[in-house]
Structure 1
């Protein structure tokens, strides 16, 4: 019975997950995820570059302190959902970061991230993810990564 149930669920879900991505996409990323900048996607893989502000520390009064980075990297898009021409989907990303100020000034690092991008209206989309920042001599930092973007696809 378990096998029949599983097969039935796969048949129902298959058209949703069989959705294909448009061949090309350029996104203008206006908020933090993956960075404030540009992203080019070809099928399932994209490259991005821009300015990445994130909170990695607190000041003496316990207030969050934003640290700035330049961020560039690759993203893999998978499990598209919905029937839109450009579907919402999950993603996994690996990036190089270079600190611009505070404790990370001139430091190199890496960011690994996973999350979901949801098209909320036409080509306007929001992202929510979780990122881990690693930099030599520093503790690992785990942060939520919200974002908002507008995408052009063809």
Structure 2
């Protein structure tokens, strides 16, 4: 049974790695992941930058409070899936953040994130991931990171 499972995984990984990313991609990120801003990918690596709102605390009444950051970083794209010209894929990223308000105002931090990007239709894509935020003097935070983007490739 182990050999059958291993053979299946090898076949799946071979089919997965046969899929290629377009050489260049520019994404307009409209909602949160990786930030509200722009991203440029070349082959398997992208750079991104923009405005990043996230919930890291609650007020005295228990309601969620959004904190704002400027975010810039690098993403590595891997395990493309599907047969579309620009395939869905997994990603891992690391980003520098600078707090704009609340407890993080003028504080530097770092975000590590991993997730999956689903290419829905043409350039429209949805992302879901999990991010870990670390900043001096603050507790480490783990947050979900949904996103909506539109990508152009060439």
Q: Deviations over 1:27-81 (max 9, x none)?
A: 0000000000000000000000000000000000000000000000000000000
Aligned to 1:95: 95
Aligned to 2:34: 34
Q: Which residue pairs with 2:49 in the alignment?
A: 49
Tell me how far apart the structure 2 counterparts of residues 63 and 30 of structure 1 sit (CA, whole Å). Answer: 24
Deviation at 1:15, TM superposition (A): 1.8
TM-score w.r.t. length of structure 2: 0.96
Superposition deviation, residue 122 in structure 1: 1.0
TM-score normalised by length of structure 1:
0.96
* Equivalent residue pairs, number: 154
8 Å CA contact 1:16–1:83 kept in 2: the answer is no
> What is the Cα deviation at residue 8 of structure 1?
4.1
The residue that corresponds to 1:115 in the other structure is 115
Give the alignment's Cα RMSD to 1 decimal.
1.2
> How far apart, in 2, do the equivalents of 1:22 and 1:150 lie?
15
| Unaligned ranges ≥5, structure 1 | none
Q: For the residues of structure 1 that align with 2:4 and 2:62, how far apart are their CA atoms?
A: 55
